[in-house]
Amino acid sequence: MQYKEMKAEDNVSSVTQFVLLGFSDLPNFQGLLFALFFTVYMIILIGNSLIIIITRLDPTLQKPMYFFLANFSLLEICYVSVILPRILKNLWTQDRMISRLGCATQLCFFLIFAATECFLLAVMSYDRYVAICNPLHYPLVMNHRMCVQLAVGAWVIGIPVQIGQTCQIFSLHFCNSNQVNHFFCDIPPILKLACGDTFVHELSVYVVAMLFVAVPFILILISYGKIISTILRLPTASGRAKAFSTCSSHLIVVFLFFGSATITYLRPKSSHSAGTDKLLSLFYTIVTPMFNPLIYSLRNKDVIAALQRLFFKKIAFFFMRNVS
């Protein structure tokens, strides 16, 4: 399908629609990509939904750690649902047009959920810090009210800033092109289409990225610095191994998400390339949410045991119903 490309000589105010090029450079693989992304989306929905269900239903998982894990799984579902359904629609229909408002809405929700993920990962690291470094005070410090306050804070803290940043970006005039060389409306490819000097807008992106990416990451590093120091002082090897196992899953997710996001948003504009941006974006928008349920379930004995109990309970209910 051919699309009209807006050029610099066109009326800058006439850019009311963008074209998400996505994976249009792979015309022979559109069906395969649709099947792949659809499968990934189902894995993310089912895997994260299972974690939410078992953390709500299993009495042994009524702990702050699993309360935050349920929030994290819900966030992952929201996060990928901003991006993947649009990718699937584009691949299925080959209609890659998106309105300016639709593009702004997608970017705004993506930024809000990404900011939430950064701070929720920081909250989860604080939970592990209190559990390992102050175990006697853990029930008192991480009570239900504190958990709810931390979770709500993580969900809402980025809303006003990211709405403001989205409005600022889409107040620009776009005259270089209307073709977004990406699979969703992200900041770097959108700024490439803007007319004139975008230095102030790029600077604001760096400032917000430092606030919502670098600050939580530093807090996580501080928490894990204290955690590792405490673990190394434990008298037994089995105690150290158990403590490390409760943190390893979270650390893997942290480095997967923050690593790709930091490279994307904090490297100079001159070093941006469409192919690299797409590859990095796939990591923090799709790959990480897909592996999160596997990382947390396969490396957590309590979650595995809860899944087994839920599975056997469903089998027993099925047989009892058929027998009667």
pLDDT in tens, 85-131: 999 999 999 899 999 999 999 999 999 999 999 999 999 999 999 98
Q: Distance between CA 107 and CA 117 in Å, rounded? A: 15
Is position 282 within any domain?
Answer: yes
- Dihedral sign, Cα of residue 183, residue 189, residue 194, residue 200: positive
Domain membership flag for residue 313: yes
Confirm whether 5 is domain-assigned: no
Angle of helix 64-81 relative to helix 144-156, nearest 10 degrees, comes to 20
- Residue 314 forms part of a structural domain: yes
Residue 3 lies in a domain: no
The answer to whether 75 and 120 have CB atoms below 8 angstroms apart is yes
Alpha helical stretches, state H, 58-191: 64-81, 84-93, 100-133, 138-141, 144-156, 159-169, 187-191
Number of structural domains found in the chain: 1
| Of 180-184, 249-253, 257-261, highest mean pLDDT | 180-184
Q: pTM of the full predicted structure?
A: 0.87
Q: Are 166 and 201 in contact (CB under 8 A)?
A: no
| Boundaries of domain holding 57 | 12-323
- Does residue 124 belong to any structural domain of this protein? yes
The answer to whether residue 294 is domain-embedded is yes
The SS3 assignment for 97 reads strand
Residue 129 falls inside a structural domain: yes
Provide the CATH number for the domain around residue 122: 1.20.1070.10
pLDDT tens digits, residue range 202-238?
Answer: 888 889 888 888 899 999 999 988 988 888 887 777 7
Given this model, what pLDDT does residue 137 score? 92
Quickly tell me which residue has 């490819």 as its tokens.
Answer: 189
Element (H, E) at 48: helix 30-57
